[in-house]
Structure formats: C-alpha cells, structure tokens
Amino acid sequence: TKISLPTCSPLLTKEFIYGVATASFQIEGGSTHRLPCIWDTFCDTPGKIADNSNGHVACDHYNNWKKDIDLIESLGVDAYRLSISWPRVITKSGELNPEGVKFYTDILDELKKRNIKAFVTLYHWDLPQHLEDEGGWLNRETAYAFAHYVDLITFAFGDRVHSYATLNEPFCSAFLGYEIGIHAPGKVGKQYGRKAAHHLLLAHGLAMTVLKQNSPTTLNGIVLNFTPCYSISEDADDIAATAFADDYLNQWYMKPIMDGTYPAIIEQLPSTHLPDIHDGDMAIISQSIDYLGINFYTRQFYKAHPTEIYEPIKPTGPLTDMGWEIYPKSFTELLVTLNNTYTLPPIFITENGAAMPDSYNNGEINDVDRLDYYNSHLNAVHNATEQGVRIDGYFAWSLMDNFEWAEGYLKRFGIVYVDYSTQQRTIKNSGLAYKALISNR
Ligand code: PNW
C-alpha cells in the first residue's frame, strides 16, 4: 500500500513543501534544564493524564536530537516543524538562558546544514509556571511577556529559521485549558475561556509586530486548528446550534485575525464571559500574516440542547484511537469554505495525522490504517487545490510517537514508532509511504 495522488497534482511538484511536525513538551524531556511549565504542574495533578505520565523524559529528544535529525533527513522531507520551549530559553527574570538557546541553535544549524527548512512555532502550550502563577493567559501582561520572549529569541536565532508561527492552536490553550479544563492549566468556567482567548490573540498580534521588525524575511503567521461543525438534522434549531458552535469554537480565533472582529455571537454572551478588549487591540490582532497554518484531524456533529447553546454528538462510523471520526471530505470542505469566507494568505497544512493501532510483523510496523488516513487526507488536500485553494505545504503529525497531552503515552500519532523503554525509533510503513511519496515527486 502507498500514498497516491492524481498525476498532475500540485502536491506532486517539488515546490510543494512536505514536512513532519513535533512540539517541545511532547518530545524533549530534559525537564531539569528548563523552568517548570503549566504542563508539568498539570501532569502532577492526579486524574488529569490518562496514564499518570509526564514530560520529564518523553522521547528524550533533548539527548537524541542529532539522531532524530538523521531520522528526519532519512525521510527526505523538505521541512521540519518544531516548537520552542519558552521555559527553556527564558529565565524567570526575563533574560535569555544560554543553555536553552544553544539547544535550539544547534538543532537549527544542523537542519540548515542538511537543507531542511525550519518551521518554528513559538508557543505550543508550555507556558512557564511562574507566569501562570500570575494569572497565565487570564492576565493581559502574559501577552507582553510573550512578545518580549519572541523579541529575544528571534534575535538570537538570526537567519536560521524559514518560518515562524506565533501560536499553535489558541483554541486548545483557551478552551481546553481555561474553559473546560481538560488541558493545562485545568481552569473551568465560561468566564475564563474568552478572556484567555483574547490575551492569546493579543499575544499573537504583538508577536507579529516583533517578527516584522526582527525577522522580515521569514514567513510569519499563526497555526489554527479547525474541527468543522455539521448539523445532525435539517431542523432549524439544530442548524442554528451548529452555526453557534462553529463561531464559538472555530471562527472565534480566525475572524479576529482575518477581519479584526469577533463573530457576531459575541453579542449573545453574558457580560461576565466577555474579554476585556482595549482600544487598538483588534488592529494589533488583525495585522497581515504571511501564511496561515491549518491543523485538521476530524469533524464534529451538533444538535440543539434545551439549556446549553449546542450539544456535541458522540461520533459514529470509522474512528481513530482518539475516538475521532475519519471523514476526509470535511477537510476539503473546510479549506474551500475558508477560501470562500476570507481573503486567505497562502496556507500550510501544519498538522494532519491519526492515532491508530500499530501492528508488528517481522520487525515491520504495519500501520495500514494510518497509511490509509494519510492517503485519503492528502487526496482531500489535492481536491481543495482543484477548487482553487492555494496550499503551499503539508506536515504530518507527528514525526514520532510522543506525549499525547491528556492521553499521555497511550495514543500514538507517529509515522515513526518509539519504544519508550529503549528510546529506539522505527519508521512505520506510513512513514515509508510518506518518504516514497516525497521522493517520487
Ligand atoms: C493538536 N481537540 O492537538 C496539537 O497541536 C498536537 O500537539 C496534538 O498532539 C495533536 O493535535 C493530536 O491531538 C489537539 O480536542 C488536541 O479539538 C485536541 C483537539 C484538537 C487538537
């Protein structure tokens, strides 16, 4: 089995960028060499992580980074998307930590040597704990602290980077972390989510200003995740509930950046749930970006609810190990709809992939379901390009199995298998198919 695309596809040209993606907390370990972050604290809170694990060792990428770059090179990818651990590179007093900076400049130098483009995400959820102690993303000052960190680190990285993303998935930070509490820091309350979201968006905007100054030649943007919303019926109440869910969960992060306004449903929210928007904030948030990173995994059905505004419906049909429905058609629909709704910059698919069973067969890891997922979803991306959407690249999530947040190490998204007792890496069949696709272009 392999990944096959229509012969004339733009996804089969050398200009299309293929990559693999990771995030600092999920792979690095090396936790004694950095400040504590909100995910360390969350992992230490009983009942939060499915296997009671933590990120102290993870894939021990902190010690294995060079071999991991060999692995990335062996896959033949054009680009590697990594994230920078803020608590590794900035001290409590807000200065650069030379040890942390060296860790990343060594990696970036090595990538450059091997002609692999570095796509650097500046925030993939590992907020320094001391900033959370001051209110975290509920505190407007955190946005300024982020801009300060971005100023220092981009200056230190110089010309080593191809592309920066300010934030990864502010939806996850704000909604999962501060509204329903299934991610760090585990706060629960509708009075928190929108406030955290606004400060995250402000942090993005302030960081964009810094990037335009310090790093005008890199591609600078943001990574958003979308879970397209579908109504369970043609019933007007269900359709209205679904539209609300889409504005609340997806467009809440997209529309401020593209149009400088929150979705109109903001008028329906109680004043206690509203963010504190200062004059000028929306202009900072909506300044131009060079590209938009889109992460896609699944879609979600909704219906109306007697007391809540919407109710998600438990998915049926083919599911991944996360319990997420496999429905590639909604990936195409998402990209086409966004293209019709907004004036989009070039798009990179910055994450797509699946947690799936891995079955061993004579030292071979035959993850047919994951391979199928990549095949169908790359074809979904192709179909979007056929309908006029400009897409410049695609990153598989993830390079290797890693700490899958609230699921701990129980769910595996890698195209490379990690044996956590030996830290041995083995390329899965999906990884070999991805490599073949890239080299056959
Ligand atoms: C993304 N949701 O997380 C993250 O960027 C990755 O770090 C993560 O490993 C990957 O997807 C797989 O989960 C998400 O509930 C987590 O909507 C949860 C959701 C979306 C994205």
Which residue, among 21, 60, 4, has the nearest Cα to 353 in the 3D structure?
21
Whole-number Å distance, alpha carbon 227 to ligand 1 midpoint, is 10
DSSP SS3 for 397: strand
Whole-number Å distance, alpha carbon 55 to ligand 1 midpoint, is 16
Using most ligand atoms within 8 A of CB, pick from 24, 166, 169, 176 the residue to mutate for ligand 1. 169
Residues with Cβ within 6 A of ligand 1? 23, 26, 168-169, 172, 225, 227, 295, 351, 397, 404, 413
Whole-number Å distance, alpha carbon 35 to ligand 1 midpoint, is 24
Given pLDDT bands bounded at 50, 70 and 90, which one contains residue 233? very high
- What is the phi-psi region of residue 131: left when phi exceeds 0, alpha when psi lies from -120 to 50, beta otherwise? alpha
**Interatomic CA distance for residues 104 and 35, integer angstroms:** 16
For ligand 1, atom 18: residue with the closest CA: 172
User: What type of residue is 186?
Assistant: G
For 432, other C-beta atoms within 10 Å of its C-beta total 16
Give pLDDT, residue 235: 98
Percent of the chain with pLDDT over 90: 98
Q: Tell me: the pLDDT tens digits for 372-385?
A: 999 999 999 999 99
Q: Tell me: the pLDDT tens digits for 10-29?
A: 999 999 999 999 999 999 99
Whole-number Å distance, alpha carbon 228 to ligand 1 midpoint, is 14
For ligand 1, atom 2: residue with the closest CA: 172
Which residue, among 62, 60, 104, has the nearest Cα to 83 in the 3D structure?
104
Using most ligand atoms within 8 A of CB, pick from 20, 179, 225 the residue to mutate for ligand 1. 225
For ligand 1, atom 16: residue with the closest CA: 172
How far, CA to CA in Å, does 364 sit from each of 73, 330, 420, 430, 436?
A: 20, 32, 17, 11, 16
Whole-number Å distance, alpha carbon 28 to ligand 1 midpoint, is 17
Q: Tell me: the pLDDT tens digits for 414-430?
A: 999 999 999 999 999 99
Q: Does 361 score more than 90 pLDDT?
A: no
Q: Are 164 and 215 in contact (CB under 8 A)?
A: yes
Percent of the chain with pLDDT over 70: 100
Give pLDDT, residue 19: 99
For 158, other C-beta atoms within 10 Å of its C-beta total 11
Average pLDDT, the chain: 98
User: What type of residue is 32?
Assistant: T
Copy the structure tokens of residue 335. 């990209």
Q: Tell me: the pLDDT tens digits for 60-73?
A: 999 999 999 999 99
Give pLDDT, residue 70: 98
Q: Tell me: the pLDDT tens digits for 66-124?
A: 999 999 999 999 999 999 999 999 999 999 999 999 999 999 999 999 999 999 999 99
Question: Looking at residues 215-243, what average pLDDT do you find?
Answer: 98
For ligand 1, atom 9: residue with the closest CA: 404
Give pLDDT, residue 356: 97
Given pLDDT bands bounded at 50, 70 and 90, which one contains residue 180? very high
Residues 6+ apart with CB under 8 A from 182: 176, 406
Q: Tell me: the pLDDT tens digits for 315-334?
A: 999 999 999 999 999 999 99
**Which residues are known to be catalytic?**
351
Give residue for tokens 């820091």: 185
Given pLDDT bands bounded at 50, 70 and 90, which one contains residue 360? confident
Using most ligand atoms within 8 A of CB, pick from 182, 405, 413 the residue to mutate for ligand 1. 405
Whole-number Å distance, alpha carbon 352 to ligand 1 midpoint, is 10
**Interatomic CA distance for residues 276 and 418, integer angstroms:** 44
Q: Tell me: the pLDDT tens digits for 237-277?
A: 999 999 999 999 999 999 999 999 999 999 999 999 999 99
Copy the structure tokens of residue 147. 């801009």
Question: Looking at residues 173-189, what average pLDDT do you find?
Answer: 98
